[in-house]
Structure 1
Amino acid sequence: MAAKQGKADVQRVLVDLKTLPDISVLKDNVQAIVDRSSWWEVYGVDWVVVGVALLSLPCALLLLAQFAVLPFVLGMFIYGCIHAVLSTKAGHSAAHGAVVRSPKWNKFWSHVFVELIGSFSANLGYSIHVIGHHTHTNIIGLGDSSMWKAPFLPRYVYMFVAPLLVPALTPLFALFQFRELGFRKAFASLLVITAGLAINFSLLMHVSGFTLLGAVLVTFSSRAFLAIPYIHVNIFQHIGLTMFSQDSKPKRIYQMSTGVLNLPRNLVLDWCFGHSIISCHVEHHLFPKLSDNMCLKVKPVVRQFLLQHGLPYNEKTYWDRLKLFINKYEDLMVHAPPITHFIGIQ
């Protein structure tokens, strides 16, 4: 049996580890849904969101050229949303191989969305997120989301001020991590990231009329519009849930059902970050190669399967998680997380 302990906000259920359901049954059910789905459902819907973002770019650039406050602020918001759709939603899906069927084209789009637009190394992102976080979800020291912690910061500074610096720090963080890639990959990533920023600055200078300094400030300021919810979402969906030690990793279905949480659907965040990051994060961790739209489509099947077999299906509102992290900031973000204790695990 496995019992969850500690102060974390998790569903307190008792699960018989010897009678865990076979995840292959759920895989077959999900695959059947995918097989019945059209290209439009599997990939097309998400490409439309990307297309709408790209078509909104001229509007954002023209609004940013205005001197009036409201049009300028609206332009900043739209510009920030466009960047989030392309770098976060599309970049995240491409990193998982979920934007097209071809592995080679997925890799290509990953470099476009993550590096050229997102100003971060696609190879580093794959290593940190896909190989590290997904493989070792909530395993202490491997995939426990500790990279999002900054225990030296006071709670309100971390929750509402520090995230605003993330867009400017992202390319710098990539630079410091380049040693892990080797010279060739690091140099290629640096070229693509530099080209992406240069294109971005050029658009703002030649279309919106900014100076180079103004283009730089507008770029990172617009990206900061969604930086606070971006950080919140990344900590809300794993930290404070069940954690495991490296020598007591459970079966995958138990690990994902207890260590991952869904937030409610939200129009802005769904579009900018994607369903797999917001309301279908459980489904995404169980089936990371599914597109955002397919995660949404299989969600009822996954939820029913987990609950029918006595496994938790974690769902909390954004407000609930925000209150928890503010009230228990020291426990969740400063101190080491509690580890689930196993009794009689095979």
Structure 2
Amino acid sequence: MKPDTQDLTPAQGAPGPAGADLALLRAQLEAAGCFERKPGRAVAELLFNLLGSVLAFFAAREAAQAWSAWAGLPLFVLGSFLFYRNGWLMHDAAHGGSWPGIQANRRFAALTAGILGEFPSGWRHGHNRHHARTNVLGEDWDQRERWDPTRRYHSRLAAWLGLFLFTRLRGVYVPATLIFMALRDGYYCWRHHRERFAAELLAVLLGLGSQLVFFVLLTGSWLGVLLFLLHTHVGMLYLNSAFAGNHYDLETFTPEQARQLDVLSLQSRTTRNYTGGWWTHFVFGGLEKQLEHHLFPHLPRHHLHRAAPHVRAFVTVHGLPYHEAPFWHCYMRVLDFHVDPRPGAAPSA
């Protein structure tokens, strides 16, 4: 069965000598079983995330009532973390990596996106640009602030606040929330996939509305509205942090330079994996193997580790870098990328 590639934007650039070899690498990965879909695993993971998050939120309420709000905060963050791990399921299905057929992947992507309160078609539109034009100036839409000269800060703390905890709208810093991402992707859906907009808007309203009602019922008061907003804030912090170190401070190319690079060269020079054990795999859902994902976007997340040794050997043979480092090392490099300690050089958050 062919993977769901209908909505994927092909990687752009010169064909290069590695183009034919990439087909051989794909055949090697297929022989190793790396493209095998496991729908049952996706469903089980969805149920685990939802049940785990609900239990964590109830435990947070009990801890807050028994001791203090601060006692319940870690459990609340855990609940939001588990809930937003469903984003990896939406991501996998949108790339065609969860189910054998195109329509099944689309339906599962729509289900998980609706639960999260996201527009799958709009999200896919922007995300495909990132895959096709990774770190290409003005054409990679995922991390535009890296090219904004005003997003420079005087310290790591100010950079963390300005990049991860807050976002800037029309020059004003406001708390980052996934609601802003839904608005952005809703705009993309309206502009580029208008035939799907009404259905996806309804799913978004149901998803966000259900989350809001849950927190109001959990607290028994309108304090639940604040908890809902905090919940979306934690989700945005998680998402911003998860992918920050995969590309951010690596090489950047102009569109003209990128057109001279083959797909393998562009991806290997602009993409970094995270190293780590089981906790890294759990937190990042398998997408810590980011280069493997960028070379084969429809390769299921749970097989990226299996594909990694083959990809590493392939990249090394072609004399290209295989970037990898611990997550916190990458995270600090992102902050340092935006630190300009010179007095008056740029505004701080």
Could you say which TM-score interval applies, normalised by the shorter chain? 0.7 to 0.9
Does 289-298 or 19-28 show the bigger shift? 19-28
For structure 2, the 5+ residue unaligned runs are: 1-14, 154-158, 168-174
Query: CA-to-partner distance for each residue in 1:159-207, whole Å, 9 max, x for gaps?
Result: 453165232423333455454146543332221111111212222333x
Distance 2:44 2:309 in 1: 24
Q: 1:165 aligns with which of 151, 170, 176?
A: 176
SS in 2 for 1:98: coil
Is 2:144 aligned against 1:147? yes
Question: Contact conserved, 2:136 with 2:254, CA < 8 A, in 1?
Answer: yes
Compute the displacement of 1:58 (Å).
3.8
The aligned counterpart of 1:134 is: 131
Could you tell me which runs of 5 or more consecutive residues in structure 1 were left unpaired when the two chains were aligned.
1-16, 336-346
Query: 1:263 aligns to what SS in structure 2?
Result: strand
CA distance in 2, matches of 1:128, 1:227: 17
Which residue does the alignment assign to 1:109?
108
Alignment of 1:120 onto 2:124: no
What code does the residue aligned with 2:138 have? G
Letter in 2 for 1:166: T
Q: What is the root-mean-square deviation in Å for CA atoms of aligned residues? A: 3.0
Q: Which residue, out of 250, 253, 266, partners 2:264?
A: 253
Is the Cα contact below 8 Å between 1:63 and 1:75 reproduced in 2?
yes
Question: 1: CA distance between counterparts of 2:193 and 2:300?
Answer: 31
Matches within 5 A, 1:7-86: 20=18, 22-34=21-33, 42-66=38-62, 67-68=65-66, 69=68, 72-86=72-86
Question: Residue 148 of structure 1: CA displacement?
Answer: 4.8
Structure 2: distance between partners of 1:309 and 1:182? 39
Find the aligned partners of 1:38 and 1:180 in 2 and give their Cα distance: 34
* 1:51-81: CA deviation from partner (whole Å, max 9, x where unpaired): 3212324413422432133663243123212
Native 8 Å contact 2:247 2:271 kept in 1 = yes
Matched, 1:320 2:329: yes
Q: What CA distance in whole angstroms lies between the structure 2 residues aligned with 1:264 and 1:46?
A: 24
What TM-score do you get using the length of structure 2 for normalisation? 0.77
Partners in 2 of 1:284 and 1:18 — Cα distance? 20
2 CA distance for matches of 1:183 and 1:327?
40
221, 236, 254: which one aligns with 1:227: 236
CA displacement, residues 3-37 of structure 1 (integer Å, 9 cap, x when unaligned): xxxxxxxxxxxxxx9754721121111111127x8
Structure 2 vs 1, CA of residues 189 and 47 (structure 1 numbering), >3 Å: closer, same or farther? closer
Structure 2 match to 1:189: 200
- Secondary structure of the 2:49 match is helix
**Secondary structure at 2:98's aligned position in 1?**
coil
What percent identity do the matched residue pairs reach?
19
Is the CA contact (8 Å cut-off) linking 1:138 and 1:145 kept in structure 2?
no
Q: Is the Cα–Cα contact under 8 Å of residues 16 and 262 in structure 2 kept in the other structure? A: no
Letter in 2 for 1:81: F
- Count residues with an aligned counterpart: 307
Counterpart contact for 2:212–2:228, Cα < 8 Å: yes
Structure-2 change in CA distance of 1:241 and 1:77 (3 Å): same
Give the letter for the 1:292 counterpart: R
The 4+ residue runs of structure 1 with deviation greater than 6 A are none
Q: Is the 8 A contact 2:122 2:187 kept in 1?
A: no
Distance 1:147 1:189, change over 3 A: farther
Q: Normalising by the residue count of structure 1, what TM-score does the alignment of the two structures yield?
A: 0.78
Contact 1:80 1:226 survives alignment (8 Å): yes
Deviates more, 1:308-317 or 1:184-193: 184-193
Residues 258, 312 of structure 1: 8 Å contact kept: yes
Report if aligned partners of 1:167, 1:227 keep a CA contact under 8 Å in 2. Answer: yes
Paired with 1:38 and 1:24, the residues of 2 have a C-alpha distance of 17
Give the whole-Å Cα distance in 1 for the aligned partners of 2:189 and 2:18.
Answer: 41
